[in-house]
Structure 1
Amino acid sequence: MSANPNTITIDGQEIPFTAKQTIMDAALAAGVYIPHLCHYPGLPPSGNCRLCMVETGNRNVAACITPAVAGQEIRNNTPELNEVRKSITQMLFVEGNHICPSCEKTGNCKLQAMGYYLGMLDDHFPQFYQRREMDASHAEILLDRGRCILCDLCVRASRDVDGKNVFAIAGRGTNAHLIVNSPTGKLADSTIATTDLAATICPVGAILIKEQGYQVPVGQRIYDQHTIREIGLRESIAKKNDD
């Protein structure tokens, strides 16, 4: 064990951590990528997507909500864990309308990029074809619940950064869905604005700014040029520099 009392080990690499850091935060700060979709630097973690499951002490834990503890031996980048992550990604694809060639978010979509990163070649599971309401009532912002992966990033961004509490998750299990906290339940009657973090943080194509689709040609978009690992580490570095 290291002489430094404030270190953990991930896949044999010694990682320093500070008080109250999670395994995820410590890993990203050290340039170690742990796959994730519902984590975003600076927002309270929720542990929703479960892609960040790592093995420590003969059990699996979500890295984004598990505190770093001195002496932890953690396994992250293993064939077994990545196979589980691929299955989770496949399930997310079939639970919604994720037909990449027809989606404005293609090339900028974290779910799509995660599929590439994990070597996903097919959906594997049968399509659910759930019916979820689209809300095009807002003049500038579109809400397509059919693409929502219930990561609740927009919920946390609106509540903790924008200070507006526009979104929430209602229901449980297969009935869980994104709702708008407005008198009518419509986006047009909420206080959301295009400048809000909640309007741009969606990792998929569920929340889109209108009249901006396809401004960047396919082939020149974020994940056409970089892997989700590279972008995930950049987000962490950018947040660290902001602090």
Structure 2
Amino acid sequence: MHGASSAPWSSPKGDRNERYRPLDALAQRINEEQHQIEHHAKGMLLAAKAAGEALIEAKKMLAHGQFKQWVEANTKVSYRSAVRYMQVAKCATHGTFDPDMGINAFLEQYAQERSKPAPKSNLPTFTEDDAEYALKIAARMDSEFEGEREVAKAKLEKMAKDHGMTSGELLEKARAIQPLNHLAEAEKELNALREELARRDRILSDLKRRFAGASKDELIEILADLKARGMWKG
């Protein structure tokens, strides 16, 4: 059994005497819980949990390296038991806590629960085909037609929800799975834009050439030709 000590327990911050009084109270609480553990088997786990919480609190108040010495000098608990009690306190909120269990049984059960593989997700696997489809939907969200954009947005949100993701996460994953396809699609759109710009440049050059020095009748003929080709709606 350990007894009280006059060791000058110091703290990284704060007045020593102000810290010493709470530590005395914690030591008393730990010793009371130890008495419960030794004499009342039925509530042993609850007492170990309470002692562990007090020990964790005391450790935070002590300077680095002093905890073991403080436990041995101020409590009736061995350092090995103190470590186990703190484990109980930390594990109690994460594992199946049955107050009627023994300390060893509880810690063993917690270790077994942690070692179990995580349950398999019921969400569908996100495949390359899914990634391609998601990117195609995303492309439609840039449509000039509001209705098409809304439909694409709704489809993308539903697909993301089905796979347990947000729309942004879904697209990020799709681009990670099919980066080449995504780039190829973007390059195809860029080439189409370049071709359209080149076509318009040719039309503009042709108009400048044809309008230069044209008479009124010739201008009317040119405009009629453009209208017939769907290039002018005047």
TM bracket (short chain): under 0.3
Compare the two structures and name the one with the higher strand fraction.
1
Greater RCO (CA < 8 Å, at least 6 residues apart):
1
Structure label with greater radius of gyration: 2
**TM (normalized to structure 1)?**
0.19
